Amino acid sequence: MIAPSILSADFARLAEAADSVSRADWLHVDVMDAHFVPNLTIGLPVVKSLHAATDIPLDCHLMIDDPDRWAPPYAEAGAANVTFHIEAAHDPVATARAIRAAGALAGLSVKPGTEIEPYLDVLREFDTLLVMTVEPGFGGQEFMAEVLPKVRLAREHVRSGHLRLFVEVDGGIGEDTIEAAAAAGADVFVAGSAVFGADDPGCAVESLRSTARGSMAV
């Protein structure tokens, strides 16, 4: 699945940006609070408005402090998938259950320097694992191939039946990197500048999807 990131879109024309990628699987929304990461983007009111403006399922990535408090309202606002960072959570299991109870999928994200082995049992409570392939906070960074072993490990556990979740990657995803991420086992790909920096964002989505399908791990 391809999830274009509106972090790379024109914030004054978010509804138009969504329309330009109408065949995307998810629309990735980066929520940053200038505390957990050194950047400030958008919050709950914009997500509510965007949900009303598009039929594309919203994939909200919360790079914020205190996600235990703030994550469930994003599900209540209509997000299809709400992901928060393990590094910021106090009770990830309770938060995941609250997100699910509000009607959304629950996602857990890890920074490049965070290993997933300590959280394999916790991940049974989640629908999505988001492996950051850049340091969270800003778009346009270079893809970090050194984190792909985490993607492979997650895929192995999905294949064995220990976990049942999407394996998502976010950061530096484009035509030159999506093949490696797909081969490692990712099945959801967040792409920002590779989509919204293209002359035709819709065609960019289709091209990325085709490239990923040809390289995906079985």
Annotated catalytic residues are 30, 170
Six-digit token pair at 37? 């990461």
Q: Distance (Å, rounded) from C-alpha 87 to C-alpha 149? A: 19
Report yes or no: 108 and 126 within 8 Å, Cβ to Cβ. yes
In angstroms, what CA-CA distances link 66 with 17, 40, 60?
Answer: 29, 15, 15
DSSP β-bridge partners for residue 44: none
What the block records as the tokens of 191 is: 């792409």
Name the token pair of 33: 């609070």
How many whole angstroms separate alpha carbon 35 and alpha carbon 54?
29
Q: Dihedral angle at the C-alpha atoms of 195, 191, 213, 125, nearest 10 degrees?
A: -150
- List all residues 6 or more positions away from 46 whose beta carbon is below 8 Å from its beta carbon: 14
How is residue 88 written in tokens?
């910021």
